[in-house]
Amino acid sequence: MKQKLIFTNLVGQAIDTLVAELGTPQVVVVTDTNTAQFVLPIIVNDSKVVASAKLITIKSGDSNKTLDELKNVWMRLAESEASRNTVVINIGGGVVSDLGGFAAATFKRGLRYINVPTTVLGAVDAATGGKTGINFNGLKNQIGAFAEPEAAIISTIFFNTLPQQQILSGYAEMLKHGLLENPDVLGKLLAFSPVYPVFNSEAMMPLLQDSVMVKANIVDQDLTESGLRKALNLGHTIGHALEAFAFKHQNPIPHGYAVAWGLVTELILSHTLQNFPSDEVHRFAQYVKTNYGAFPITCDDYPELIAAMRQDKKNANADSINFTLLKAIGEPVLNVVATPEQITAALDLYRDLLGLA
C-alpha cells in the first residue's frame, strides 16, 4: 500500500508530523472557497505547516472541476516555484482531492501529495485510492490519472456541521463497502443512524475506519481497476443512471442518494441473477427507505433509465449492460450482464419495496 492512512481527530498535529517525516520544507495547500472559510481556520490553529503554507483556493462545487481551475492551480504552483520536493496538501471534499491530486500528479511529472478530506464522501471514497482528475467535454472524470497520495488523514471533526444531505450522501458509499465486506461490518452500519439529532460524528469513527479499509484493501490489489476494483462499482450502474436522469429533468440528486437507490435495485438484481438472499434485500431496502426515502420514477421512465445504463463507461459495448452484483454479503461477482427485461423487473420491485408503486 503506497498511501498511508491516518485516522485521527488531531488533524493539525498529524499534518505537521507527516510533513516532517516527508522531510520537505516546501508545502502548498489546495482548498476551495467553502473550506477556506469554514474549515481552514480550525486547522491553521493547530498546524504550523498549514499556517505558513502557500494557499491555492479553487471555486467550490463539482461544476468547477474543470480544465480552467486546473490551469489556475498549475499557474499558482509555478508562481510558488513548486519543485519535485514540494508537497501538496489537499484540504476539502472530493472536488479538491480529485483536482488537487491531478494537479500534483501532473505538475513537473508528479509532486507528492496528502489528502485531508473534510466531507464524509471525501473521507470514505475520493481521498483514498488514487483516482484523480477533472470533468471534461460535459462528462465526469474524463481526464485523469491513477496517482495515490502519500497519505490521507481521515477524521470526523468536520462532520458535525455538515448538512444532513452531505452526511447521508457519503454514508451510502459506506453502506456499499459494508455490502462488499461482510455481515458484521454491514450490520454495524445498519444499526447506526447518520441522521441528526441522533447522529454523533465521533461514534462514526470506527465505522469510517472499517469502511476506508475495505476500499484500501481492494485498491491495494488492483489500483488501475483491471479486475477486483470493479467491485467498488456496486450500486453505481443504476445509481449513475438515476443521477443523470435526475439532472436532465432539473431535479438533481446528491451522488450518494443515487448510489443508495442504485444499491437497492442492484441487490434485487443480485437476488434474481445470483441468488442473493431476499431477506437481506428487504432489510437493506428498509434502511434506505427510512433514511433516504425514494427517488420517484414510473414505468414510463424505464426506457430512458436503461438507455442511460447503456452509456455507462464500464460497458465494453452499448449492447450489453454490465453490473457488479453480489452472491452474498462479502461475495461480489464482477461483469454480470443483465437484460433490459431483468432490469425492468428490478425497477418494478425497487418501486414496490420503497413504497412508490
Binding site for ligand GLY (CB under 6 A): 125, 129, 131, 229, 232
The distance of closest approach from Cβ of residue 131 to ligand GLY in the complex, given in angstroms and rounded to an integer, is: 5
The distance of closest approach from Cβ of residue 232 to ligand GLY in the complex, given in angstroms and rounded to an integer, is: 4
The distance of closest approach from Cβ of residue 144 to ligand GLY in the complex, given in angstroms and rounded to an integer, is: 11
Q: How far apart are CA 147 and CA 243, in angstroms?
A: 27
The distance of closest approach from Cβ of residue 155 to ligand GLY in the complex, given in angstroms and rounded to an integer, is: 20
The distance of closest approach from Cβ of residue 92 to ligand GLY in the complex, given in angstroms and rounded to an integer, is: 17
Nearest residue (CB) to ligand GLY, 54 versus 314: 314
Nearest residue (CB) to ligand GLY, 129 versus 170: 129
Helix-strand-coil percent breakdown of the chain, rounded to 5? Answer: 55, 15, 25
Cis peptide before 296 (omega within 30 of 0): no
Closest CB to ligand GLY: residue number: 232
C-alpha cell belonging to residue 120:
464524509
Task: Please give the sequence-ordered ranges of beta strands (E in DSSP) within the chain, or none if there are none.
Answer: 4-7, 27-32, 54-58, 87-92, 112-117, 131-136, 139-146, 151-154, 321-328, 331-338
Nearest residue (CB) to ligand GLY, 131 versus 271: 131
End-to-end Cα, the chain, rounded Å? 46
Q: How far apart are CA 273 and CA 351, in angstroms?
A: 19
Residue 289: alpha-carbon gap to chain centroid: 21
CB-based burial label for 191 (10 Å; 0-12, 13-18, 19+): exposed
- For 151-171, give one letter per residue: b (16+ CB within 10 A) or e: bbbbbbbbbeebeeebbbbbb
Nearest residue (CB) to ligand GLY, 129 versus 332: 129
Q: How far apart are CA 357 and CA 352, in angstroms?
A: 5
The distance of closest approach from Cβ of residue 127 to ligand GLY in the complex, given in angstroms and rounded to an integer, is: 10
The distance of closest approach from Cβ of residue 128 to ligand GLY in the complex, given in angstroms and rounded to an integer, is: 8
The distance of closest approach from Cβ of residue 95 to ligand GLY in the complex, given in angstroms and rounded to an integer, is: 14
Nearest residue (CB) to ligand GLY, 12 versus 100: 100
Q: How far is CA 136 from CA 65, 130, 145, 301, 354, in A?
A: 9, 19, 14, 27, 35
Nearest residue (CB) to ligand GLY, 148 versus 150: 148
